[in-house]
């Protein structure tokens, strides 16, 4: 497989169950190392990094959004988002301030004190997206981000991903849903671990945001 993702692209990695989507997600996200070939994220060849440096690269450059949200029960939405900055070295007050900005960006300024059990499925996914982008990673990997949502909530989440991309976010949506994939500018279709089609690729048009603004800006990523 040979795949390159440019800065500010929005693409779907789509394929049926068993096609290799999860394996590809784990390799792109540096959760697994490839047995051959190379993976380069933000100029770093992951095969050359120690586990410690790989963890640091992942924390700095990659944001994950999962179908099952993975929010911490019993703490507020704001504190859940602030968890995304836990290894940033920032003081707690600054982490919470940036979390508040990220939640406002995803339309949840009035839900910051709510705990996960007090939120709808769509709101939980928005919290998860805010947590993933609060540290301004280079690449956002969204794994079946609408799979646990009703259709209206799913459409709202996809609209949010489009908005983030317009601001410069590099986003790869991993999905088995051809309708979701068709909404995105580029569709990379895989089957049995191989790219069988790469459709609709176009020059990215997203704008970069200056680091430290608190808004989700994504800079560059390649695989």
According to DSSP, residue 37 is labeled S
What is the length of the chain?
223
User: How far, in Å, CA of 68 to CA of 48, rounded?
Assistant: 32
Considering the chain, what is the average pLDDT of its residues? Answer: 86
- What is the arithmetic mean of pLDDT over 70-75? 95
Quote the pLDDT of residue 222. Answer: 36
Could you tell me where the beta strands, DSSP code E, fall in 84-185? 139-143, 171-175
Q: CATH assignment of 10-72+137-199?
A: 3.40.50.300
- What is the arithmetic mean of pLDDT over 79-96? 91
- What is the arithmetic mean of pLDDT over 177-206? 85
Quote the pLDDT of residue 67. Answer: 86
* Least reliable range by pLDDT among 23-27, 86-90, 119-123, 180-184: 86-90
Quote the pLDDT of residue 137. Answer: 87
Angle between helices 121-133 and 151-166 (to 10 degrees): 20
Residue among 69, 127, 67, 72 at smallest CA distance from 102: 127
Are the CB atoms for 158 and 126 separated by under 8 Å?
no
Residue among 172, 169, 165, 157 at smallest CA distance from 124: 157
Would you give the end-to-end CA distance of the chain in angstroms?
A: 10
Percent of the residues in the chain that have a pLDDT greater than 70, as a whole number: 90
User: For residue 97, what are the β-bridge partners?
Assistant: none
| Degrees to nearest 5, angle at CA 193 with 133 and 29 | 20
User: For residue 197, what are the β-bridge partners?
Assistant: 189
User: How far, in Å, CA of 63 to CA of 40, rounded?
Assistant: 16
- What is the arithmetic mean of pLDDT over 101-115? 95
- What is the arithmetic mean of pLDDT over 195-220? 52
């Amino acid at each position: 497989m040979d795949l390159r993702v440019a800065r500010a692209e929005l693409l779907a990695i789509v394929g049926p169950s068993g096609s290799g989507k999860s394996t590809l997600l784990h390799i792109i996200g540096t959760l697994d190392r490839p047995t051959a070939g190379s993976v380069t994220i933000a100029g770093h060849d992951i095969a050359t990094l120690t586990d410690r440096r790989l963890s640091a690269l992942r924390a700095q450059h990659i944001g994950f959004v999962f179908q099952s949200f993975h929010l911490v029960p019993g703490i507020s939405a704001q504190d859940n988002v602030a968890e995304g900055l836990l290894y940033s070295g920032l003081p707690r007050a600054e982490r919470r301030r940036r979390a508040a900005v990220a939640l406002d960006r995803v339309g949840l300024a009035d839900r910051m004190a709510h705990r996960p059990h007090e939120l709808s499925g769509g709101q939980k996914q928005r919290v998860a997206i805010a947590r993933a982008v609060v540290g301004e990673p280079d690449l956002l990997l969204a794994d079946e981000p609408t799979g646990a949502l009703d259709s209206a909530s799913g459409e709202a989440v996809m609209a949010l991903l489009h908005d983030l991309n317009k601001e410069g976010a590099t986003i790869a949506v991993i999905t088995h849903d051809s309708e979701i994939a068709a909404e995105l500018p580029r569709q990379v279709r895989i089957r049995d671990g191989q790219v069988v089609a790469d459709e609709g690729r176009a020059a990215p048009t997203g704008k970069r945001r200056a680091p430290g603004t608190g808004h989700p800006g994504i800079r560059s990523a390649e695989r």
